Amino acid sequence: MRCFTVLGPSQTGKSTLVEKLGALEGAPRKSISPYGLNLTEFSFGNEAWCALDAPGGSEALVHAQHALLASDACILCVSPAPEEAVLAAPYLRVIEASGTPCILFVNRMDEPRGRLRDVISALQDYAGHTLLLRQIPIREGDKIVGSCDLISERAWRYREGQTSALIAIPESATEREHEARTELLEHLSEFDDWLLEELIEDREPPSDALYAISTRVLKENRIIPVLIGSASHGNGMMRLMKALRHEAPPVDALRERLAGTGNIDQARLSAVSFHAYHRQNIGKTVLVRALGAGLKQGVSLGGSSLGAIQDSANGKSGPAVAPVPGTVFATVKSDHLPVPALLSPEAAFPAPDWTAPPTPMLERILVPGSERDENKLSETLAKLLEADRGLKVAQEEGTGSQMVSIQGPVHLRDLCRTLSDVFHIAVTDRQPNPIYRETISKPAEVHYRHRKQTGGAGQFADVKLTIHPNGRGQGFSFAETVKGGVVPRNYIPAVEAGAREAMDKGPLGFEVIDVGVTLTDGQHHSVDSSEHAFRSASKMGVRQALSEGAAVLMQPVFRSEIHIPSVYSGSLVQIVSSLKGQVLGFDRDETAKGWDIFRALIPGGALDELARALRSATQGIGYFSKTFDHFEELYGKEADAIVRAHGTQRAEH
Ligand SMILES: Nc1nc2c(ncn2[C@@H]2O[C@H](COP(=O)(O)OP(=O)(O)O)[C@@H](O)[C@H]2O)c(=O)[nH]1
Ligand SMILES: [Mg+2]
C-alpha cells in the first residue's frame, strides 16, 4: 500500500481532492476517525492507496505532522490567490522540516484569482525548495479551460466529470508554454548532467527521459513540482494521481528517512504509529503503518504484543490479511503503543523532532460538572495525553484544579467533546488565575512579644525585627545581629522559620518575595521560652511588619518567542507594546524560509490577549512559546483590581 497526505489551509479543497482522487478507479473507502485525521483507501493503477486528509487550521497542524510520518509523499493543496500564499507557510515549514517529497497542487483553478506565476512566486517566499511548474493553464477569455503538460508538451481540455480530452496546444498558449518549459528544463538540469549537456548542445530531450529525471528529483526531495486543477470539477485529478503513482517514492524511502533521524536503527524499524483516538467501549485505536514484514496480532511490537488488527478504513476487525510493508492498519488493545512513535519489535522510539507539536498557546481550567466527573477527569486526561501531543496537563497553582494547555479554541472544543461523548464527563472551562506575588517597597521595624499563660507552663518569646526590600530575584533572606545572648543561639533557627512562614501570605493576600528579615534584639525566659514560642513570635511579628512595609503587587513576566511570517513582522511591535510588553529583538528564522522570530517580555496577564491578537493579526498562523522570566512590580488601577478580585475569590472559598 502506498500512502500520501493531503494538507494545506482550510477550504482549499483538500477533502474534495481526496474524494475525487479516490473515485478515479472505483469506490473509495473512508475512515471513521472522529477527530483530526481522515483516511481514505482506494485503488489506482492496480495498486492499493491510502490518502490521509489532514484538517486545515494551525491548531490542527499537529495532525498533519503526524500524517507525514506515515507518508511516502504529500500534496500541498492551495488556493490560486497570491494574497493567500502566506496561509500555506506553516505547511511548507513542516513539509520541508520532515523531508517528505511534496507536490504542490494549485486547486480551484476554475475560479482563478490572479496569475499562476504570481501565486507560485508568492508561495516561493516560504519554500526552501524551488517550486517548479509542471503544467500551465490554457485560457479562453478569463476562464481556464484546460492545461498543458510541460514535459510531454501535450494539452488537455477539461471536461466536467470526465477525463480531459487531448487537444493541440492552442496558438495563444504556445509562447507561454515555451517559456515555462525552458524554465522547467533549466531547473531540472541543475540536478542532471546529461540534461545539462543536452540543453547546451541545443538538443530536444525526449519526454520519457525528462519524466525519469523529475521522478528522481522528487524522490530525492530536491524540488517541489507544481500541478494545477479543480477538485470539485474533477479537473487535473488524473494527472495528479499519475504523478503520484510514477513519482512518489516507495515505502522503503520512508523507512530510510525515518531511520535517518538517528532515533532508531533502520534494520529494526518495523512500523510507525501516527494517530490515535478513543472510542466508547472500544478504547484506544492506534493507526499504524507497517514498514517491515511479519506483523500480525500477537507478535511483539513496541515492546509488547500487538493487539487485534482492524481495517483502518472501517474500524472493524479486518480481513485476515497480514500487514505487509506499506500497509496502514488500525489496532485496538495495543494501549502500550505510544503515538507517534517509531516501533521496533522490542521497543518504541521517539518520533523525529520535526513532529514536535507547536507549543500550546492557550491555558484553561477544566471545571467538572460533578464530583464523580472530578474523579474521572484527571485519569481520563492522562489517557488522552498519550494520544494528543498538542495537549499538556498541569495543576493550577493555589487551587489544584486541572489545567490544560491546548493549541487553541478549536482544540479545546474537540477535547471537551471527546470528554463528553466518549467518556461522559461534563466540563466547563475558565481562565486560569495568573500567578501573582507581592513584596514591600520600604523597610519596617517591629517589636513583638509572644506571651501565653495556659495551665502549667507558659510561652514567652520577645523579638525585635527589621524587614527590608531585597533586590529582584534575590528571594528571602535572614540575618541576625543579636548581642549578649538575649535570644539564645538555639532559638534563632526557629525565628528564621517563623519569618519564612510569614512569607506565605502578605497583606495583599499573595506569597511574599524578595524580602530580607533581620533579628536585631529580643528577650527570653529561662523556663517559658521555647522554639515554638520564638517561631510564633517571629511569624506574627514579621506579618505585622509586612503590613507596614508598603506592599506592592508583583506580576509574572514571561520571556516569549513569537514566530511569524515576515509579512506580519511590521504589526508585531505594535501588538507587543499595546500589551505593555517589551520587544527584545528579532531575527530571521534560519530554519524556516520567510519566517521571523521575535523575542519579547510579556506580562503574564497579557498572554491570552497575545494569543488572540496574534491569531487575528496573522490569520491564525503566528504562534509563540513562553517561559517564566521574573516578577515585576505592578501599580495603579490594574493592580488594585487584581488585589480586589483576589480578595473576593478568597472570601468565596
Ligand atoms: N470552485 C471550486 N470549489 C472547490 C474546489 N474544490 C473544492 N471546492 C469547494 O470548496 C469547499 C471546501 O472544500 P473542502 O474539500 O471541504 O476543503 P478543505 O477544507 O480543504 O478540506 C467546498 O464547498 C468544495 O465544494 C474547486 O476546485 N473549485
Ligand atoms: Mg477538509
Residue 589: strand, helix, or coil? coil
Bridge partners, 105 (sequence order): 77, 227
Residue 33 CA, ligand 1 centroid: distance in Å? 21
Q: What is the pLDDT of residue 265?
A: 86
How far apart CA 307 and CA 334 sit, in angstroms, is: 5
Whether ligand 1 lies within 6 angstroms of the CB of 16 is answered as yes
Q: What is the pLDDT of residues 362-411, one digit of tens each?
A: 899 999 988 888 889 999 999 888 878 889 999 988 788 999 999 888 88
- Phi, psi values for residue 549, rounded to 5°: -90, 15
264-355 in CATH: which number? Answer: 2.40.30.10
Q: What is the pLDDT of residues 156-184, one digit of tens each?
A: 999 887 888 999 999 999 999 999 999 99
Q: What is the pLDDT of residue 281?
A: 78
Q: What is the pLDDT of residues 399-451, one digit of tens each?
A: 889 999 998 888 899 899 989 988 999 999 998 887 899 999 999 999 999 99
Q: Please state the rounded mean pLDDT for residues 534-553.
A: 96
Q: Please check the confidence at residue 35 and state whether its pLDDT lies above 80.
A: no
Q: What is the pLDDT of residue 444?
A: 96
What is the chain's alpha carbon radius of gyration, rounded to the nearest angstrom? 32
- Cβ neighbour number for residue 552 with a 10 Å cutoff: 20
**Quick one: which atom of ligand 1 is closest to the CA of 230?**
27
Residue nearest to atom 1 of ligand 1 (CA): 108
User: Which cell is 88 given?
Assistant: 500555506
Residue nearest to atom 7 of ligand 1 (CA): 13
Bridge partners, 634 (sequence order): 553
- Domain 362-422 belongs in CATH node 3.30.110.40: no
C-beta separation of 546 from 444 below 8 A: yes
Cα distances (angstroms) measured from residue 622 to each of 139, 173, 534, 565: 36, 40, 56, 7
Residues with CB under 5 A from ligand 2 (ion): 14-15
Burial per residue of 46-60, b for 16 or more beta-carbon CB atoms within 10 angstroms, e otherwise: eeebbbbbbbbbbbb
Closest ligand to C-alpha of residue 109 is: 1
C-beta separation of 105 from 78 below 8 A: yes
Residue nearest to atom 5 of ligand 1 (CA): 232
| Residue ranges of the chain assigned to CATH 3.30.70.240 | 554-652
Cα distances (angstroms) measured from residue 71 to each of 117, 211, 288, 501: 28, 22, 11, 58
Whether ligand 1 lies within 6 angstroms of the CB of 266 is answered as no
pLDDT-based confidence at 2, cuts 50/70/90? very high
| Residue ranges of the chain assigned to CATH 3.40.50.300 | 2-249
CB < 8 Å & 24+ apart, contacts of 45-49: 45/242, 45/245, 47/1, 47/2, 47/245, 48/1, 48/2, 49/1, 49/2, 49/3, 49/4, 49/22
Chain-wide mean pLDDT for the chain? Answer: 91
Whether ligand 1 lies within 6 angstroms of the CB of 220 is answered as no
**pTM confidence score:** 0.88
Q: Please state the rounded mean pLDDT for residues 643-651.
A: 79
Q: What is the pLDDT of residue 475?
A: 94
Query: Which parts of 151-249 are beta strand (E)?
Result: 154-159, 162-167, 223-228
Residues 2-249: name the CATH superfamily. P-loop containing nucleotide triphosphate hydrolases (3.40.50.300)
Pocket of ligand 1, candidates 5, 6, 16: which has the most ligand atoms within 8 Å of its Cβ, to mutate? 16
Residue nearest to atom 22 of ligand 1 (CA): 13
C-beta separation of 75 from 4 below 8 A: yes
| Residue ranges of the chain assigned to CATH 2.40.30.10 | 264-355
pLDDT-based confidence at 321, cuts 50/70/90? low
Q: Which fold has domain 438-549?
A: Ribosomal Protein S5; domain 2 (3.30.230)
Q: What is the pLDDT of residue 53?
A: 94
- Of 381, 424, 420, the closest CA to residue 403 belongs to 381
CATH architecture of 554-652: 2-Layer Sandwich (3.30)
How far apart CA 416 and CA 429 sit, in angstroms, is: 9
Closest ligand to C-alpha of residue 235 is: 1
Residue carrying C-alpha cell 528522481: 216
Q: Please state the rounded mean pLDDT for residues 311-318.
A: 64
| Residue ranges of the chain assigned to CATH 3.30.70.870 | 362-422
Q: Please check the confidence at residue 469 and state whether its pLDDT lies above 60.
A: yes
pLDDT-based confidence at 311, cuts 50/70/90? confident
Q: What is the pLDDT of residue 75?
A: 98
Q: What is the pLDDT of residue 315?
A: 59
Among 21-35, 469-483, 529-543, 577-591, which is the least confidently predicted range?
Answer: 21-35
Among 273-277, 444-448, 649-653, which is the least confidently predicted range?
Answer: 649-653
Residue 360 CA, ligand 1 centroid: distance in Å? 29
